[in-house]
A and B are shown apart, each in its own frame.
Chain A
Amino acid sequence: MNSPDRQGRAFWVGLAVGGAVMAFGIAGALGDAAATEPRALVAWVVAADIVHDALVAPAGIALGWAVGRVVRAPWRAPVRAGLFLSALVAILAWPGLRGYGRATQPDNPSVQPLDYRAGALATLSIVWVAVGVWGAVRSRKMRSVTNP
Chain B
Amino acid sequence: MMRRLDPRSIGTRFTSQLHDDRTAAILGIALATTFTVCFATGVWSHLVQSPPSWFSRPPRPAGLYRVTQGIHVATGLATIPLLLAKLWVVYPKLFTWPPFRSVAGALERLALLPLVGGGLFLLATGLANINLWYPWPFNFRLAHYWTAWITIGALVVHVGAKWAVTRAALARRGPGRDIGPERRVFLVTIGAGVALVTLTTVGQTLAPLRRIALLAPRRPDRGPQGFPVNRTARAAGVVETALASSYRLVVTGRVERELKLSHDDLLGLPQHDATLPIACVEGWSASKRWRGVRVRDLLDMAGAREGARVTVESLQRRRAFRRSELEPDEARDRDTLLALFVEDEPLHLDHGFPARLIGPNRPGVLQTKWVTRLVVR
Contact = CB atoms under 8 A, between A and B. Distances in A.
Contact of A37 (B143, B151, B156, B229): B143
A137 interface: no
Nearest to A77: B185
A11 B161 contact: yes
Given A18-B111, A92-B200, A113 B121 contact: no
A113 B203 CA distance: 13
A19 to B, nearest CB: 7
A127 B165 CA distance: 35
Given A24-B149, A45-B114, A113-B223, A36 B107 contact: no
B124 interface: yes
B117 A14 contact: no
A5 to B, nearest CB: 5
Nearest to A49: B117
Q: Is the interface of B mostly helix, strand, loop or mixed?
A: helix
Interface stretch (B191-199, B305-313, B339-347, B356-364): B191-199
A8 B166 CA distance: 13
Given A3-B96, A26-B150, A45 B118 contact: yes
Given A3-B101, A91-B80, A96-B217, A105 B138 contact: no
Given A40-B138, A77-B189, A18 B160 contact: yes
Contacts of B113: 45-46, 49
Bin chain A's interface residue count.
Answer: 35 or more
Given A3-B109, A14-B156, A61-B91, A41 B147 contact: yes
B147 A25 contact: yes
A130 B120 CA distance: 29
13 contacts: A22-B114, A25-B151, A25-B152, A36-B146, A46-B117, A48-B118, A49-B113, A92-B215, A100-B135, A105-B132, A107-B234, A110-B219, A114-B213
Interface of A: 1-8, 10-15, 17-26, 28-29, 32, 35-37, 40-41, 44-49, 52-53, 56-57, 60-61, 64, 77, 80-81, 84-85, 87-89, 91-93, 95-96, 100-101, 104-105, 107-114, 116, 118-120, 122-123, 127
Instruction: Across the A-B interface, give the 10 residue pairs with the lowest CB-CB distance, nearest first.
Output: A14-B160, A25-B149, A18-B156, A21-B153, A110-B223, A22-B153, A119-B214, A18-B157, A25-B150, A10-B163
